[in-house]
Amino acid sequence: MRVGPATMILLLAAVAPAANAQDGKVLFDSVCAACHQAGGVGNPGIAPPLNDAALWRRLGDRAPGYVAGVMTSGLSGMIQSGGQVYAGLVMPPQAMTDEELAAIGSYLLGTLNQTGQAVDPALIAKTREAPPSHSALQKLRKGS
């Protein structure tokens, strides 16, 4: 059988796997690591560490919502993390699909921080519908 370009595209679409934790690592390393470094170890004074077990433990059930909020709205305002102060720097909202952001969030929580949590594409979609303000995210982070 001769396979034309249109058939080829259909075949490729059919075998493309859904975004998963593996894609999450690839996406994290190519996008988030530009500021947060590979493995999310952070860049002192520039971008806070994301392999911050204490932060995720403190956030508990609110962690997936916080990650979804920061990725879709970005973040600004003063943050204290690992003995460093991050102030005056803005994390821009991340322009990616719901599936891609969910894969990154799941990699961040489930793989990097072993919280046993994942971020669902539906949570990203819901967060986009009512994007949290940076001050709401800061409050959530402080646990108030």
Summarize as ranges the residues that interact with ligand HEC (CB under 6 A): 31-32, 34-36, 47-48, 50, 52, 55, 67, 70-71, 75-77, 79, 81, 86, 89, 91-92, 94, 104, 108, 141
Q: Are 87 and 109 in contact (CB under 8 A)?
A: no
Is the Cα torsion angle 131, 137, 139, 140 positive or negative in sign? positive
Tell me which residue has tokens 């952070």: 42
Q: How far is residue 108's CA from residue 40's CA, in Å, rounded to a whole number?
A: 8
In whole angstroms, the minimum distance from the beta carbon of 69 to ligand HEC comes to 9
CB of 113 to ligand HEC, least distance (A): 10
Question: To the nearest whole angstrom, how small is the minimum distance from the Cβ of residue 6 to ligand HEC?
Answer: 33
Cβ proximity of 35 and 117 under 8 Å:
no
Pull the structure tokens for residue 16. 């493309």
Residue nearer to ligand HEC on the CB measure, 76 or 126: 76
Q: How far is the CB of 63 from ligand HEC (least distance, A)?
A: 9
Cβ distance to ligand HEC smaller for residue 23 or 52 = 52
Nearest CB to ligand HEC, comparing residues 5 and 143:
143
Q: Report yes or no: 125 and 98 within 8 Å, Cβ to Cβ.
A: yes
| CB nearer to ligand HEC: pick between 45 and 122 | 45
> In whole angstroms, how far apart are CA 62 and each of 13, 27, 101?
34, 23, 17
